[in-house]
Chain A
Amino acid sequence: MMDRLLFGDNQFFGVNHMSEEKARAQALRFQEIEAVIDVLDAAYDEGIRTFMCTTHERISLVCDHVRAHPDRYPDYTFYPGMPYAHKYANAVTESGMLGAVKRFLPDEGLMDAAIRGTTSVAKKDIEGITTLLIDAEMKMFQGLSTPVIFLQNVVVDLLLGLGFKEAFRIFADHVKSRYDAEPGFITMNMPALLDVLEELQIDNPIICSNINKIGFRMCGGSAAYEAALRERQFRAVAMSVFASGAIPAREAIEWVCAQPNIASIVFGASSKANIRGTRELVSEFWQD
């Protein structure tokens, strides 16, 4: 069972879809990991115990902190979202496609990884390469609770566009068997992805997509999103509910809480006051 409110991490890494100035101010503010942990603590103290995060290398510092303080965070949960795409995109520009894949494969350690790696690359066996890349990204979460593991939207939507459906199945199977976790999919094209996941018989999938009152980055259109929420079997995680600040908080939460079948809302905030404000709005509008 997923929590209703999940805490996101865009604000920590200078990601702001509205303004580069704001993004830089946030990057400055969260330069030291202590500042990130202070905000996560504020969220935790408001009862928000799930951190839906990228696999940015700095997240490993958060992982170390949580591992080191089990008494402070007895029920802390991570929902990792992989991969941190810019790392790969910049590597592709520099080293080419295959070079980039090779660079991120584990280069030492387990014999298993080495064998899976070399033969997979040679045989174009995507299953082997994919599972290795997943394992590399999951390393930082060792010993922590990761009941849901997400595939990031750039990858999901690339695979969706290419018609590379098998990769979703590979991801789902590996996440289940190796991490005893549920697969989650982040997308900007929710109705189209839902069709493919249904076709693959990935039942009741967890799909995280923009769901906001103004239809911002809801590809396929608001009507298709609303129909999917009403009529189809999946667990929707709503992100970008404020549309990067374009919708006032109260109006945004009131609208999203009125949509049927939303399992969770993921939101980011940098201050205790904003975290509390969002939590209170959700309690007000989202009653069982």
Chain B
Amino acid sequence: MAPLLRTEDVHKRYGKEEVLRGVSMCLEPGETKVIIGPSGTGKSTLLRCINRLTEPDRGRIWLEEQEVTARKASINRLRADIGFVFQDFNLFTHLTSLENVRLGPLRVRRLGRPQANRTALEALAQVGLSDKTKSYPAELSGGQQQRVAIARALAMHPKLILFDEPTSALDPELIGEVLEVMVRLAKSGMTMLVVSHEMGFARSVADEIIFMEHGVIVEQGPPSRMFKAPTQARTGEFLRKISELYGEAD
């Protein structure tokens, strides 16, 4: 069976700076992979290239059999199948939670209003926010906003969801509720590609950890091996540093 997502030699440069220097990876259905690495090494750029919010300069990307990077790809249809959760939520400010979550099913999937409503309510229930359907983003905490954003992605019934540092903009006490939702999702079989520094999350749910630096994948493997016996010196160094920082020393 073909992998759900495959990238091949993806390159991206901004001006003089080469942010991605040939990234190849794949993701099987139901897998969760966590991308870690120092800031500025192209992790977020890679995610954005996958649904072409950023156009890669070179390389190819496939979602199942369809090539995302093909010139004639119907990018909007492909994006509808790829959920994206942003670091700073990006909920639509003028819409309530329900309207935020319902927009995709209603306007992109073109389900009827009753069905779009049902889908949206289900998604909000999945993130535990059934009681906040009428709240506007500004009336919600950061954690709640991010959960609505996850519901917005879920309501599209995507084939995979990309998470771009979903907890980095949150106060420490709000991170837990978001991670909890993500853990549940991963365990329910959602395919997820997550850029995150949450080592606890990576350790407990990731099928594989991908360590990136300077625009390339340095090493990847299951968390048990990556944490215990990384083959690359840099990986070990980075993991030690981040574990100290986040109090996850082992």
Q: A and B bound?
A: no
Q: Which residues of B contact A (CB under 8 A)?
A: none
